[in-house]
Amino acid sequence: MELNEILKTRRSVRHYQDKEIADDVLFELLDSVRVAPSWHNYQPARYHVIRDAQLKEKISKTLPSFNQNNVKNAPVLIVTTIVLNQSGFLKGEPANELVNHWGYYDGGLSNAHLLLKATDLGLGTLVIGLRNADKIREILDIPEEESIMSVISLGYPEKVSTMPKRKQFDEIIKIY
């Protein structure tokens, strides 16, 4: 798919077909995150990819009910994290006022690769920020050095909504 088409057609998908994702497609998708840019090339983003039905059910239950509904039938749930205390630091010392926020910046850039590549492969995603991180940590035994960001659902879209209204160019961009 051409880049402009990917950018314009990517939508948050809240209705999935009951259809598995083939291994080669999933691995091609996951490989796309490895090339994302990051602070000092530390690459702090991590992906906990859940295909097992029972584990998926457990992770789904860490979401509020409307989000559980949104991910129903999705064959894969991905918990995204970042390793703390790398990005934003120089020789172990905070580099500036944003400190660990730079890790989240890297994580978001990396997640964007995943979302856009998924669109390219005909897959839909939903980034979920409303989740219970403590319960997810316990279920997957995620170490404290990793900070849990989102749960991203992944699957073949059953229904795609229209693009929610976006701000106008002049509202968000100042050219000097």
Ligand X SMILES: Cc1cc2nc3c(=O)[nH]c(=O)nc-3n(C[C@H](O)[C@H](O)[C@H](O)COP(=O)(O)O)c2cc1C
Binding flag, residue 67, ligand X (CB under 6 A):
yes
Q: Does 130 bind ligand X (CB under 6 A)?
A: yes
Kindly state the smallest distance separating residue 23's Cβ from ligand X, in Å: 27
Specify the stretch interacting with ligand X by CB under 6 A; choose among 1-9, 31-39, 86-94, 128-136.
Answer: 128-136
Residue 15 sits in the site that holds ligand X (CB under 6 A): no
Considering only residues 148 to 167 of the shown chain, the ones binding ligand X according to CB under 6 A are 150, 163-164
* Cβ atoms within 10 Å, residue 47: 14
CB of 126 to ligand X, least distance (A): 6
Tally the C-alpha atoms within 13 A of residue 167's C-alpha that lie toward its C-beta. 5
Coil, strand or helix at 159: coil
Of 10 and 137, nearer to ligand X (C-beta) is 10
Q: Where are the alpha helices (DSSP H) in the chain?
A: 3-9, 23-31, 53-60, 65-70, 101-120, 133-140, 169-172
Please name which of 137, 23, 28, 18 lies closest in space to residue 79, comparing C-alpha atoms.
Answer: 137
Contacting positions for ligand X (CB under 6 A): 11-12, 67, 70, 126-130, 150, 163-164
